[in-house]
Structures are given as structure tokens and as C-alpha cells.
Amino acid sequence: MYVFQLFDYYSASGMVLLFVCFMESIVIGWVFGADKFYDIIELMIGYRINKWLFICWKFITPAITLGILLFQIIKFKPIKYNTTNVYPDWAHTFGIMLAAVSIICIPTYSIIKLLKAEGSLTERFVSTKTPILKASRIPQKWKADKSQLFWACEDNFDENSMPLSETFVDA
């Protein structure tokens, strides 16, 4: 139970999950863009969803998750076993390393993708945040409605395909 509680406290709940939620909300709302996400959901379901979700993706969710994460960091207390026995320092260090390994994956992957992309820094950023769909995965009704056909095709570009970055202009 001692080891499981250590894993649970440091790597499976709390700050790690809040960090992942915060990063997801930043990526959806600001990196990829809430406008684009809103448009893509309309393409998928066929109608515009409530504007409230757009506001949540862009402002409310990042602010709330960041606030809770900061509060949890400020009020952090090392774990105790059975609320009385204190874990040794090496166990806390191990737990913090577990959390750091879980958290560091997100920025490390982003940096590696940016470094592997070609072009200037701005071009790299735009190309790495542009979704790519294979032509075989695009529904037939999207292909029929050419006015709302927005995708980047990794197989071959034809007269109907275009990258999302050229279709959706950042405001």
C-alpha cells in the first residue's frame, strides 16, 4: 500500500492531471485556435454549437485550471502514510520525479516536432499545428460540399484539398 499511495499521490492525480488539462485547454483555445475547433465541430456534426463552449475553450477553462494548479502548488504538502507516518525524503524525491516525467512529455514532444519541421520558426509553428487527414478518412458528404471542404491531404493534393492553415485565418 505504501508504494501505491506514493504513485497515486504524485503521478496519477492532482498536479499532473491539472497540468495536462491546462495544456489541453491552451492548445485547443490558443495554439490550434478555438475558432478553428468551433468550425471543425460544425463540419463534424452539421450545425453550430452554443457559443458558450467557445468562450470556455478560450478563456474560462484555462483560467480555472491554471488557478487550481497554482493553488495546489502553493498549498502542497508532502504525503503521509496513514496520516501519521511521514515518508522519507528519498520517497518524496522519487514521487516528484514521477510527476516530472509525466509532465515533461508534453513540452518535450512539442519542441521535438518544432525542431524537425522545416522553414522559419513561424512556418514551423503553423505546419506543426495544422491537422493532416488522409483522403480516405474524409466523409463523402464533406467531399460533396466543396464550400466547407477543409483538410490537408497527406497522400496527394488535388484541386479540392488544402491545408487547414490556409483555410482558417487566425484572428
CA distance 39 to 44: 9
Name 59's Cβ contacts closer than 8 Å, sequence gap at least 6: 29
Q: What percent of the chain has pLDDT over 90?
A: 27
- Look at residue 168 in the predicted model and tell me its pLDDT: 42
DSSP per-residue letters across 105-131: HHHHHHHHHHHHS-SSHHHHHHHHTS-
pLDDT at 140: 65
The closest alpha carbon to 69, from 128, 136, 16, belongs to 16
Q: How far apart are CA 96 and CA 100, in angstroms?
A: 6
d(CA 79, CA 47): 48
The CA distance from 88 to 78, in Å, is 10
Query: How many CA atoms, within 13 angstroms, populate the side-chain half-sphere of residue 92?
Result: 10
**Which pLDDT belongs to residue 151?**
46
pLDDT in tens, 63-83: 999 999 999 989 988 888 777
Per-residue pLDDT of 110-125, as tens digits, reads: 899 999 999 999 999 8
Task: Work out the average pLDDT over 154-167.
Answer: 47
pLDDT for res 146: 52
pLDDT at 147: 43
CB 141 within 8 A of CB 43: no
- Mean of pLDDT over the chain: 79
The arithmetic mean of pLDDT across residues 128-143, rounded, is 68
Instruction: For residue 87, count other CB atoms closer than 10 A to its CB.
Output: 18
Mean pLDDT of 44-55: 88
